[in-house]
Amino acid sequence: MENKNLKTFDQHLDERYGKTGSVQRVEFEIKAKAFAIGELIKEERL
């Protein structure tokens, strides 16, 4: 059985935040990277 509603993660991001390079997408990527770096710092402090 095939699920025709499956999307790639990039397709999901395109729909939610716009295409790569758009203002919304760039803002999302900056926040996502900042979050990931913050989590790494928290782990190192433990």
Q: Over the chain, what is the mean pLDDT?
A: 94
Q: How many degrees, rounded to 5, is the angle at CA 17 between CA 15 and CA 42?
A: 125
Kindly report the pTM of this predicted structure: 0.76
Residues near 13 by Cβ (< 8 Å), separated by ≥ 6? 25, 28
The pLDDT of residue 46 is 85
DSSP state of 21: T
Per-residue pLDDT averaged across 12-27, rounded?
97
DSSP state of 22: S
